[in-house]
């Protein structure tokens, strides 16, 4: 007979989280921005081992159950991993083809540092609202705006924060957003009702972010107009810049609007950029390939190297060299490694029952509306921390509190809004969460560097609790 499995105690279940927190502190203290290179992965696997040991040896949890949970978590991250690889290819092909340099060039002509952060937030918000994808927005227009901001001499944390704030604002309110659909469907709220109710917290949060970015725009130091002109002129000398290159992002936007799968759209974006690269920048393709000729085999080699490997174009300006250098698909490998390790940790915590034991703590301490919403927000952040996946966090938070909201006579739309105000927007603020890892890699800015400047993402959870405490548009069922 098999030994009977016991239910984990919440205090014991917290041990792996404490171990993970200590290990992350040590890793970040020792390695700093290089913690993603391997230290964080070892920390996650070590904490996973602690959780698995406690579960199997003390609580008699069958290893097969934990293993199945790990496999399910890794399976759920497969699409994200493939998207990451394609984003790496986009970074290389859109740069060497001249698409991003063209956007940077025209951006330097049109945008001014004093209102750049506000404009960036609004642009990314609009694109994300139309596309329903914060990831795609950040990987395309966000990367271009990141380059413009760096060329203007603005701090990278502020620029990345504005990009992420706008992208997640649009993502939350878009009919095409998978997180919006997931949050509303998990709780059982019509999507239009869900979106209209989110306006009460999302719009004020955006207004706060715009005010902060407006003040920052006029107070932050930035490059002189001479430096900006130097960047623009150097780009025009190195790349063959043309408005026709903007056809590629336009075609990509059309594919997104037609609701094609993200993998199909991103692959098409890479293909379009490769064609544009061969037409507009044959000399740079040869330079990437390491030869001077531009025959078929050289072009083929250069295109493939741009997709999968690092590229470095000499411009004569060290800062501009760093700006236009890319790492292709290969540059995503550390992030993919980190995602896999994070999924292992989430799988062990879920399969062992430890995650469930910890969540029961939330249910025992809430009675009134404001504490209930605050606990929901806290649970969304908590699940982002320990499950390392945005979608898992949304589902677990929605399911956990659904019965509680019904018992307290609260509308389900209040729950779906609180889930979005926490689980959706805070995922990008967690370094080992799939969202945080992805955006840090795509933008080339460490999570802890941009975290203080993601104003919208930081304000949204607080705004959700504040609006609930005021009782604004909160109707109890009788």
Whether the full predicted model's pTM is greater than 0.75, yes or no, is no
If phi > 0 it is left, if psi is from -120 to 50 it is alpha, else beta; for residue 338 that is: alpha
- Which letter, b or e, does each residue of 54-77 get, where b requires 16 or more Cβ atoms within 10 Å of its Cβ? bbbeebebeeebbeebbeebbebb
Q: Nearest to residue 276, comparing CAs of 257, 252, 308, 311?
A: 252
Q: What SS3 state is found at 177?
A: coil
Q: In the 3-class helix/strand/coil scheme, how is 313-330 assigned residue by residue?
A: CCCCCHHHHHHHCECCHH
Q: Answer for the pair 228, 81: CB distance below 8 angstroms, yes or no.
A: no
Q: Answer for the pair 226, 267: CB distance below 8 angstroms, yes or no.
A: no
Query: Any bridge partners for residue 326, and if so which?
Result: 311
| pLDDT of the chain, 478 residues: tens digit per residue | 455 566 788 888 889 888 887 887 788 778 765 677 788 788 889 989 999 999 888 888 888 889 998 998 888 778 778 877 887 888 788 888 888 788 778 877 777 888 889 999 998 888 787 666 787 778 777 887 888 888 888 899 999 999 999 999 988 888 667 778 778 877 778 877 888 899 999 999 999 999 999 999 888 887 666 666 777 788 888 888 888 988 988 888 788 777 677 788 888 989 999 999 999 888 888 888 887 777 788 889 989 998 988 887 887 777 677 767 778 888 878 878 877 887 888 888 888 888 778 767 766 666 677 888 888 898 888 888 876 678 777 877 877 777 678 777 888 899 999 999 998 999 999 887 878 888 888 888 988 899 999 999 999 999 999 998 888 777 766 5
Q: In the 3-class helix/strand/coil scheme, how is 227-293 assigned residue by residue?
A: HHHHHHHHHHHHCCCCHHHHHHHHHHHHHHHCCCCHHHHHHHHHHHHHHHHHHHCHHHHHHHHCCCC
- Alpha-carbon torsion 34, 37, 38, 44, what sign? positive
Query: Any bridge partners for residue 293, and if so which?
Result: none
Q: Answer for the pair 396, 359: CB distance below 8 angstroms, yes or no.
A: yes
Q: Answer for the pair 124, 209: CB distance below 8 angstroms, yes or no.
A: no
Q: C-alpha 456: how far from its chain's center?
A: 14
Query: Any bridge partners for residue 476, and if so which?
Result: 410
Would you kindly state where each structural domain of the chain is located, as residue ranges? Answer: 76-271+312-478
Give the whole-angstrom CA distance, residue 213 versus residue 128.
Answer: 19
């Amino acid at each position: 007979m098999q030994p009977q499995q016991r239910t984990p105690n919440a205090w014991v279940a917290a041990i792996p989280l404490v171990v993970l927190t200590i290990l992350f502190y040590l890793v970040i203290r020792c390695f700093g921005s290089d913690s993603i290179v391997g230290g964080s992965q070892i920390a996650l696997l070590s904490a996973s081992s602690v959780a698995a040991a406690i579960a199997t040896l003390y609580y008699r949890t069958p290893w097969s159950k934990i293993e199945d949970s790990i496999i399910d978590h890794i399976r759920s991250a497969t699409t994200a991993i493939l998207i990451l690889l394609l984003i790496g290819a986009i970074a290389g092909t859109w740069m060497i083809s001249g698409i991003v340099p063209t956007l940077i060039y025209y951006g330097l002509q049109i945008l001014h540092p004093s209102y750049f952060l506000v404009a960036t937030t609004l642009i990314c918000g609009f694109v994300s609202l139309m596309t329903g994808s914060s990831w795609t927005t950040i990987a395309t227009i966000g990367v271009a705006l990141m380059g413009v901001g760096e060329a203007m001499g603005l701090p990278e944390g502020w620029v990345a924060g504005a990009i992420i704030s706008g992208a997640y604002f649009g993502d939350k309110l878009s009919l095409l957003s998978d997180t919006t659909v997931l949050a509303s469907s998990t709780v059982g709220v019509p999507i239009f009702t869900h979106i209209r109710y989110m306006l009460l917290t999302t719009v004020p949060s955006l207004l706060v972010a715009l005010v902060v970015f407006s003040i920052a725009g006029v107070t932050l130091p930035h490059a002189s107009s001479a430096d900006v002109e130097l960047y623009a002129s150097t780009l025009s000398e190195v790349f063959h810049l043309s408005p026709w290159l903007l056809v590629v992002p336009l075609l990509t936007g059309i594919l997104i609007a037609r609701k094609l799968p993200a993998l199909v759209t991103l692959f098409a974006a890479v293909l379009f950029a490769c064609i544009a690269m061969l037409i507009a920048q044959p000399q740079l393709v040869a330079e990437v390939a390491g030869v001077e000729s531009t025959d078929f085999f050289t072009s083929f080699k250069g295109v493939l190297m741009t997709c999968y490997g690092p590229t470095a174009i000499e411009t004569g300006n060290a800062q501009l060299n760093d700006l236009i250098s890319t790492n292709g698909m290969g540059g995503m490998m550390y992030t993919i490694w980190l995602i896999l390790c994070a999924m292992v940790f989430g799988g062990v915590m879920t399969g062992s029952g430890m995650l469930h034991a910890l969540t029961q703590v939330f249910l025992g301490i809430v009675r009134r509306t404001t504490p209930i919403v605050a606990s929901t927000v806290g649970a969304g952040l908590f699940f982002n921390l320990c499950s390392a996946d945005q979608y898992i966090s949304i589902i677990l938070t929605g399911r956990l509190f659904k019965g509680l909201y019904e018992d307290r006579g609260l509308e389900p739309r209040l729950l779906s809004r609180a889930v979005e105000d926490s689980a959706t927007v805070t995922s990008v603020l967690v370094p080992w969460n799939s969202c945080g890892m992805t955006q840090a890699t795509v933008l080339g800015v460490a999570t802890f560097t941009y975290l203080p400047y993601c104003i919208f993402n930081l304000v949204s959870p607080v705004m959700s609790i504040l609006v609930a405490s005021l009782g604004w548009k909160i109707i109890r069922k009788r």
